[in-house]
Structure 1
Amino acid sequence: MESFNSRLKTAMEYKNIKPADLSKMTGIGKSSISQWLSGKYSAKQDKIFIVAKALNVNPSWLIGADVPMNDETVLDRIYNVSNKLNKNRQEKVYDFAKQQYNEQNNIVELPLIKEVEISGAVSAGTGEYLGDGHKEIVSYNGDVPVHDFAVVVNGDSMLPLFDDKQIIFVKKTTEVRSGQIVIADYDQQAFVKKYVSDESGSRFVSLNKKYDDMTIDENHESSIFGVVVL
Structure 2
Amino acid sequence: MFSPEVLKKRRSELKISQAEIARQLGISRQSYFTWESGKTKPNSQNIEKLAHILGVSASYFESEYKIVKTYLQLNSHNREKVENYAEELLTVQEENNVIQLYSIKVIDDIELSAGLGENIYDESETVEVFADKDYSYDIATWIKGDSMEPVYLSGEVALIREGGFDYDGAVYAVVWNERAYIKKVYLEEDGYRLVSLNPDYSDMFASAEDNPRIVGKIIGHFMPVVGG
Taking structure 1 as the reference length, the TM-score comes to: 0.48
Tell which has more relative contact order, 1 or 2 (C-alpha 8 A, sep 6+). 2
The higher radius of gyration belongs to: 1
TM-score (norm 2): 0.49
